[in-house]
Amino acid sequence: MKGKIGLVLMVIASVFFSCRAKKDVYLFTGFHEPASEGLRLLYSHDGYHWTDFNHIFLTPRAGSDKIMRDPSIEQGPDGVYHLVWTIAWKASRSIGYAESKDLIHWSPERTVEVMADEPTAVNAWAPELFYDDENKQFIIIWASCVPGRFAKGEEDENNNHRLYYTVTKDFKTFTPAKLYLDPGFSVIDAELVKLAKDSYELVMKDNTRPYRNILVAHCTNPLGPFTDYSKRFTEMYSEGPTMTKAGNNWLIYYDSYRLKKFGCVRTADFKTFTNITDSVSVPQGHKHGTIFKVTEKTLKNLQAATASN
């Protein structure tokens, strides 16, 4: 009997440790001001409490300003990680791009002129990657200002942003940029997540005064159109939102830049939002990027590679 009990306990322990080993780890891309150092990563096992690797994973070399802001990473079905980022505040119609198989060794950086067909475009800010698994393609969403294109509203012509997008399957050829979203106000910092088939949520920053805070909208297709705009659920001077699922809830992190800290709200239905900033911990100095998941093995490889910091 004791032998059978021991065998059962061994099986249970084996299943437990196997499940634990397969549990995803959260990674959070970011940067430190003034954005000249490069790509930083945080990690978390629960999505609430974050640890900094204190390591620069990629130094920005693309573009004339040599900066990296708003880094966004998405892993393709082949396991390759794709990275896009903002390379300049103004006078650039391009974004940065690099790829990696392990998040440690990166390809040469290059620029992608996403607004090549818009010669008067002021900028290309905060590109976000989304993998459309139903159409087997990547969608890149970013904010640009094209003076005189839209109703002026509260912002001057050089700060009246709308969202644009391009589609690619291989990061070598890209479709011409198209308008992704004109919500009737200046909008930046958008990120798309898939909840289920034909159900997506887009988080964004209303960049108009006096708001400059965060809301979400719903769509049944990753390219829109968008409906069911939520109320603005963060304090003023919030930006750089990113979403991830933890348990049965979605967490929406955002950079509360006037307060110099990260805020977080929790929602289960994208209708009711509860501020849980006091329940999360994000290292001081971390600036906004996006959250994605990796395996425990990938985390251990990253820890080993950065152990000499």
For residue range 84-142, what is the model confidence (pLDDT) as tens digits?
999 999 999 999 999 999 999 999 999 999 999 999 999 999 999 999 999 999 999 99
Mean pLDDT, rounded, for 62-83: 97
Q: Residue 101 and residue 268: Cα distance in Å, rounded?
A: 33
Q: What is the pLDDT of residue 109?
A: 98
Return the closest-CA partner of residue 143 out of 154, 159, 131: 159
Q: Tell me the mean pLDDT in the region 289-295.
A: 98
Q: Evaluate if residue 304 carries a pLDDT over 70.
A: yes
- Going from N- to C-terminal start, the domains of the chain cover 22-305
Q: What is the DSSP letter of 4?
A: H
Q: How confident is the model at residue 3 (pLDDT cuts 50, 70, 90)?
A: low
Three-class DSSP category at 2? helix
Query: What is the share, in percent, of the chain residues with pLDDT greater than 70?
Result: 93
pLDDT digits 0-9 by tens, 15-66 = 344 444 458 999 999 999 999 999 999 999 999 999 999 999 999 999 999 9
Mean pLDDT of 76-82: 98
Structure tokens at 257: 């830049």
| Whole-number percent of the chain with pLDDT over 90 | 88
Q: For the segment 211-261, what is each residue's pLDDT rounded down to a tens digit?
A: 899 999 999 999 999 999 999 999 999 999 999 999 999 999 999 999 999
Distance (Å, rounded) from C-alpha 38 to C-alpha 61?
A: 9
Do 186 and 154 meet the contact criterion of CB atoms below 8 Å apart?
A: yes
What integer pLDDT is reported at residue 11 of this predicted model? 40
How many Å apart are CA 251 and CA 12, to the nearest integer? 32
pLDDT at 72: 98
pLDDT at 82 exceeding the cut of 60? yes
What pLDDT is attached to residue 309?
A: 65
Tens of pLDDT, residue by residue over 200-213, are 999 999 999 888 99
294: Cβ contacts below 8 Å, ≥ 6 apart: 24, 25, 27, 75, 103
Could you tell me if 158 and 150 are in contact, meaning their C-beta atoms sit under 8 angstroms apart? no
Of 150-164, 175-189, 228-242, 291-305, give the lowest mean pLDDT range: 150-164
pLDDT value of position 263: 98
Q: Read off the tokens for 301.
A: 């490889």
Q: What is the DSSP string of 54-66?
A: ---SB---SSSS-
Task: Indicate the pTM of the whole model.
Answer: 0.92
Average pLDDT, the chain: 93
Which pLDDT value is given to residue 156?
85
pLDDT attached to residue 22: 59
Regarding the domain delimited by 22-305, which CATH topology (the fold level of the hierarchy) does it fall under?
Tachylectin-2; Chain A (2.115.10)
Helices (H), the chain: 2-22, 296-305
3-state secondary structure 135-189: CCEEEEEEEEECCCCCCCCCCCHHHCEEEEEEEECCCCCCCCCEEEECCCCCEEE
Residues in the chain: 309
Vertex 27: Cα angle to 191 and 280 (nearest 5): 85
